[in-house]
Amino acid sequence: MTGGTALVTGAARGIGYAIAQRLAKDGWAVMLGDRSDDVENAAAALSQESGNARVAGARCDVTDEDEVEALVASVVNRFGALDLLVVNAGVGGGADHLTELSTEAFDTVIGVNLRGAFLSVRAAAKVMRLQGSGSIVTVSSVYARVPVEGSAAYSASKAGLIAMTKTAALELAPFGITVNAIAPGYIDTPMRWDALRNRARLAGTTAEDLYADDVASVPLGRYGTGADVAGAVAFFAGSDSRYVTAQVLELTGGRPL
């Protein structure tokens, strides 16, 4: 499927921007949503880079119900439809053990990663039901299945996201809407390096040493890239996956979970 209309949350940098890049290159109209003030500049740069004039950006805090509803409405008003939602906005939190994890930190991670996903999916699904078509892709994590120390809030949020994704797939299937999740493993992003530094603090080592250990555990011998994740999104958004829904695609480079 090319030439449709997509909304990507958390798209000002990292995985979200790479997904928006791929979609813009494939001819989609793309709205980049992000709470960062840089999102409009990111969209302008992407439009110029891709030669695609149908790229825009809007600031949105996915934990705010009104802002999410307004963002979805702006996509429809600007481009006439909403064919694809990519729920990518997320935070990693710190690396505190459960007994040291503050209630505020827990609520922040759950608020962005799970509440934000719920608000985004709900708003987009209302539009897609009226259209009788659409695709939703959520970005979870392998930590949903295999948590590590210091990931209580993050792992819980990503596991909850998978459960919500599968539920939404069942409920939206009668309307011609597919809902799937991607669960990346080690992806080279700024947020991943933040996590490595947090883990290093707990383990008394360096982020670079942890990175080397990670790479050694991946059969393909490298971290994944944003482009690798974007390729999976392109599959779920395209016509080759019309009969695929309620699935979780793990992007691990062959690393066993």
Pinpoint the residues of the chain covered by CATH 3.40.50.720.
5-185+225-250
- Which pLDDT tens digit goes with each residue over 117-136? 999 999 999 999 999 999 99
As a CATH number, domain 5-185+225-250 is 3.40.50.720
Q: Output the pLDDT for position 2.
A: 59
Q: Could you read off the pLDDT of 79-90 as tens digits, one per residue?
A: 999 999 999 999
pLDDT at 162: 98
What does the mean pLDDT of the chain come to? 95
pLDDT tens string 31-44: 999 999 999 999 99
Backbone angles phi, psi at 250, to 5 degrees: -90, 125
Q: Which residues are catalytic?
A: 154
73, 25 in Cβ contact below 8 A? Answer: no
Q: Which residue type, as a one-letter code, is found at position 99?
A: T
Collapsing DSSP to helix, strand or coil, 11 comes out as coil
